[in-house]
Amino acid sequence: MTRLYLSPPHMDGDERERLLAAFDSNWITPLGPEVDGFEAELAARSGRSHGAALSSGTAALHLALILTGVGADDEVVVPTLTFAATANAVTYVGAAPVFIDSEFATWNLDPDLLGEFLAARATQGRLPAAVISVDLYGQCADYDRIVPVCEQYGVPLIVDAAEALGATWGGQPAGSFGVFGTFSFNGNKIITSGGGGMLTGDDGDAIARARNLASQAREPAPHYEHTTIGYNYRLSNVLAAIGRGQLADLDRKVARRRAINAMYRDALGGVDGVDFMPWHPRGEPNGWLTVLRIDPAAFGADREQARLHLESLEIEARPAWKPMHLQPVFAEATAVGGSVSETIFDEGLCLPSGSAMTDDDVERVVDALLNSRG
């Protein structure tokens, strides 16, 4: 039995030719025409004027926070339901994450809780230095409500669109809201460069500064001159070639992941105790992962029983993200609400969703899930 993975890399375009061409050109450095091309194409695809190609999505978040001026003793709002990278980056600049719960409508940052929190902090005269919003599992947060709330209080918005490349909200691309967008090209994302990330924005000077910070903050001098602390965060030209090949194929990958999601919904949508992550009518998710909730009483098995049954049949499924306010490492952090994300964590199951899956693969997962009811 071949193992079905959650979201494996899928190379089926001209990545190989581009990679070999970059190799043969001897541009095996964090500089070169593939990096420039990848930056321009990714920025254009995600509705921004500029992009800085980086070694990871986490590096992109770190630089976004530095460029926003976030520093020690600042607070930064982070949705509690996310991957740890979002919150980790906040600690890299010495700031403290404040974890805010999700809303059921999108599973993303609850705009009402955000508004209440910012109002309370405004009264105390200590607004957070930034808000990071995450577009979870390929679906944008509700930017119709989040953007105005951030603007009302003058708090910069950074969008962690690591999982949402190719998605839209109100027709606008994921990562185009707020001051900066960040993307990841890790092996499990909708496109991969074998590791990498991108910081995007409309302020060309800020993105140029990001490139400089990512190159050890070298000053323009013939010798090595430094006036600020830098990082080694640039993406290799060789990896950018792979990312460019993948990006050229993004529309097909989105279409396939959405089709897989539709197959799962057709087959399981009517089953008692199964509830899919809702797709908000304002959004057009990229289908990165299909995630559903299992109500044990109605379904006849709980999430963990279902997951272990799939595992016994060589099908990789994962619980939904464990909320950050429940993570031991963030036990001291401030949390606002939390019951929505806790329910999603208790009941949420991510199903294999890779764009290389066949229809038969999807059927195999569906059968296994139905048979997990004992």
Our CB check for ligand PLP shows the closer of 103 and 163 to be 163
CA distances from 192 to 35, 225, 236 (A): 14, 34, 13
Our CB check for ligand PLP shows the closer of 150 and 162 to be 162
Residue that the structure tokens 């403290």 belong to: 96
Our CB check for ligand PLP shows the closer of 64 and 357 to be 64
Rg (CA), the chain: 21
- Say whether residue 186 binds ligand PLP (CB under 6 A): yes
Residue window 247-286: x/- pattern of binding to ligand PLP, with contact defined by CB under 6 A: ----------------------------------------
Q: How far is the CB of 196 from ligand PLP (least distance, A)?
A: 7
Stretch that binds ligand PLP, among 15-23, 54-62, 71-79, 322-330 (CB under 6 A): 54-62
Q: Coil, helix or strand for 360?
A: helix
CA distances from 34 to 27, 37, 44, 350 (A): 9, 5, 15, 34
- Return the residue nearest ligand PLP (CB atom): 57
- Say whether residue 74 binds ligand PLP (CB under 6 A): no
Our CB check for ligand PLP shows the closer of 192 and 372 to be 192
Our CB check for ligand PLP shows the closer of 176 and 184 to be 184
Per CB under 6 A, the list member of 15, 34, 39, 160 interacting with ligand PLP is: 160
Which structure tokens are listed for 338?
């939390």
- Say whether residue 147 binds ligand PLP (CB under 6 A): no
Phi then psi for residue 276, to 5 deg, are -75, 155
**Sequence-separated (6 or more) residues with CB below 8 Å from residue 196:** 53, 54, 55, 56, 184, 185, 186, 235, 239, 240, 243
- Say whether residue 51 binds ligand PLP (CB under 6 A): no
Per CB under 6 A, the list member of 30, 37, 57, 201 interacting with ligand PLP is: 57
Q: How far is the CB of 162 from ligand PLP (least distance, A)?
A: 3
Stretch that binds ligand PLP, among 83-91, 225-233, 303-311, 329-337 (CB under 6 A): 83-91
Task: Give residue 127's identity as a one-letter amino acid code.
Answer: L
- Say whether residue 243 binds ligand PLP (CB under 6 A): no
* Edge-to-edge order in the sheet of strand 318-319: 274-276, 290-294, 348-351, 318-319
Q: How far apart are CA 63 and CA 366, in angstroms?
A: 41
**Sequence-separated (6 or more) residues with CB below 8 Å from residue 117:** 77, 98, 100, 336
- Say whether residue 163 binds ligand PLP (CB under 6 A): yes
Q: Give the bridge partners for 348, in sequence order.
A: 293
Our CB check for ligand PLP shows the closer of 86 and 139 to be 86
Q: How far is the CB of 142 from ligand PLP (least distance, A)?
A: 17
CA distances from 14 to 11, 54, 248 (A): 8, 22, 9
Q: How far is the CB of 266 from ligand PLP (least distance, A)?
A: 27
- Say whether residue 197 binds ligand PLP (CB under 6 A): yes
Our CB check for ligand PLP shows the closer of 134 and 349 to be 134
Our CB check for ligand PLP shows the closer of 43 and 162 to be 162
Q: How far is the CB of 1 from ligand PLP (least distance, A)?
A: 28
Surface-to-core class of residue 299, CB atoms within 10 Å of its CB (0-12 exposed, 13-18 middle, 19+ buried): buried
- Say whether residue 56 binds ligand PLP (CB under 6 A): yes
Q: How far is the CB of 174 from ligand PLP (least distance, A)?
A: 11
Q: How far apart are CA 155 and CA 129, in angstroms?
A: 6
- Say whether residue 106 binds ligand PLP (CB under 6 A): no
Q: How far apart are CA 242 and CA 187, in angstroms?
A: 12
Residues making contact with ligand PLP (CB under 6 A): 56-58, 82-83, 85-86, 134, 160, 162-163, 184, 186, 197
